Every structure is written in structure tokens, then in C-alpha cells.
A and B are shown apart, each in its own frame.
Chain A
């Protein structure tokens, strides 16, 4: 999928149905299974410059969110204190 280097010369520069296309691209990136999604995606990316750009930007944003967002360590005593309260209530 990572065909960033593909020259954009063959792609049309405006998309005739941005709403539908972008919604489709975003659903595919979010892992929603759609019929024929792979074929449609490949065609869009090959033929349409706005779709190509939108797809790669959306993909980059999802990637940095997944990999770079700082994670908080769970306080070490939290699990024990939950178990203790439940034990007391039994």
C-alpha cells in the first residue's frame, strides 16, 4: 500500500465525488470490511490525486496516534486495591 513514490502524473487532479471517496478511504483505514474494498482502493489511489493524498495523510495520522501517543503506567497498587474492596464486599 505504501506507494508514496508513485509519480502523480497519471492521476486526475480533482475528484468527482470527494465525500463518497474520502468516507470509503477512511472506513478502509479504520479496518471496516467493505465488499471489493481492496480493488476500489487500488483504483482510487492509482487514478485520483486528491484521494491519494487524503489516504496517505489519514494513514500517517493513524500511525502516529498508534505509535507515538504517550502512555500512562498503571499505578502499581490499583489492581490490589480493587481486589481488596471486592473481597471486603463479598
Chain B
């Protein structure tokens, strides 16, 4: 993960790493980019930038380490440093939501939702996707990394440059927010919730 150049790869080695370790992740990369930007062209630009950076800094990639995590970290940083700055559309963030949840390091682990398992299982793909997309970007990101892409807490900590404890608590908060969204879908769709019993 470090930017320090560890070794110099030959042109042949570079091509091999690029083809065998970087390119096979393009599907996950594009979907991550799309879920950050909600725009096909922006997602394409972000993925393209990421791959160009990955190639330029390929000597700082250590073979045998997780290429997907390395690429995701570059993409995440590109999104924060480049995309958010030049984007005409400000990132859609519910600041109050973020502040409320960030201002304390303590996580409330009490059960905050009366959402039922059956209601969750019956949800449509669009409902799940919309609920996820409606979360503030930092919360959306941890759920994407953990649940959609299967990264470990340790990998997520490296991708996001935050301690593992923060990964854990942010994930918990993200899922609670998601549950709130799903619960409101459930009640508008007429699924039963515990409250109605």
C-alpha cells in the first residue's frame, strides 16, 4: 500500500501485472465508481484515471499483495481528490446525518429497528439499491466494500486510511441507517413491521 517504490519491474512484468492482476478487477472498479458518482461518464473517467495512475505507479505495487484492494484505494483517493473537486454537482451528502453519527466514537449497539427478516427478504433489488444509494457517501462506501466486494476489516482500513475500530463502528452505523431506509420502504409497501402487531 505504501507509495515507496519497492522495485523496478521490466516492461514485460508491468504488462503481465496489468493484464493478470489489474484488469480482471475492472467490473468491480466500475461498479464502485458508479455507486460513488451515479453517472456513467463520471464512473468511466474515474475508472480510467485509476488505471492510468495504477500503471504509472506500478512499481509501488507489491506483487502477491491484494491488487483489488490497492486499486480500490487509488479509486477512492481519486474520487475524493479529483472528482469531488471538479464536479459541478456537489456531493449529495446529508451533513446532519453524518455529523450526528460522527460526533461520537461510542457506538450505540442497541437494537434500533423493528424491521422484520421476512420484509427484508421480500425486498426488490431496486429497493435495496435505492436504500443503499441514499446513504451519505462514507456510509455507502463501507457497505459496498464489505458486503458487495467482500473486503475484510483490515483491507477496508487500508483502502479508507482509517483504523479498524472506525471501520467497525462506521459499518454498524451505516447498516443502522440502511435499516431505517428499508423499514420505511417496508411500511410504505405494506409489509408488516413489529410496530403494527
Chain A residues within CB distance 8 Å of chain B = 4, 18-23, 26-27, 30-32, 50, 53-54, 56-58, 60-66, 68-72, 74-75, 78-79, 81-82, 85-86, 89
Q: Report yes or no: B153 in contact with A74, Cβ–Cβ below 8 A.
A: no
* B189 beta carbon closer than 8 Å to chain A: no
Bound complex: CA A70 to CA B138 (Å):
20
Determine which of A4, A19, A81, A89 lies in contact with B107 in the assembled complex, contact meaning CB atoms within 8 Å. Answer: A19
Contacts of A30 in B (CB 8 A): 146, 152-153, 171
Instruction: Say how far B117's CB is from chain A's closest CB, in angstroms.
Output: 5
**Interface bits B153-197 vs A (CB < 8 Å: 1, else 0):** 100000000000000100110010011001000000000000000
**Interface bits B33-51 vs A (CB < 8 Å: 1, else 0):** 0100000100110011001
Q: Which residue of A lies closest to B47 (CB)?
A: A78
| 7 closest residue pairs by CB, A with B | A19-B109, A68-B125, A22-B109, A65-B147, A60-B120, A74-B30, A82-B51
Interface residues on B, range: 35 or more
Contacts of A57 in B (CB 8 A): 113, 115-117, 120, 179
Chain B residues within CB distance 8 Å of chain A = 18, 23, 26-27, 30-31, 34, 40, 43-44, 47-48, 51-52, 55, 107-111, 113, 115-117, 120-121, 123-126, 128-129, 132, 143, 146-148, 150, 152-153, 168, 171-172, 175, 178-179, 182
* Given A18-B109, A68-B128, A72-B43: A60 in contact with B121 (beta carbons within 8 A): yes
Contacts of B115 in A (CB 8 A): 57
Contacts of A22 in B (CB 8 A): 109, 111, 172
Determine which of A4, A78, A81 lies in contact with B30 in the assembled complex, contact meaning CB atoms within 8 Å. Answer: A78
* Given A30-B153, A57-B117, A86-B52: A78 in contact with B44 (beta carbons within 8 A): yes
Q: Report yes or no: A54 in contact with B31, Cβ–Cβ below 8 A.
A: no
Bound complex: CA A30 to CA B153 (Å):
8
Bound complex: CA A26 to CA B171 (Å):
9
Q: Which among B52, B124, B147, B178 has the greatest number of chain A C-beta atoms within 10 A?
A: B147
* Given A56-B117, A78-B26, A78-B47: A69 in contact with B148 (beta carbons within 8 A): yes
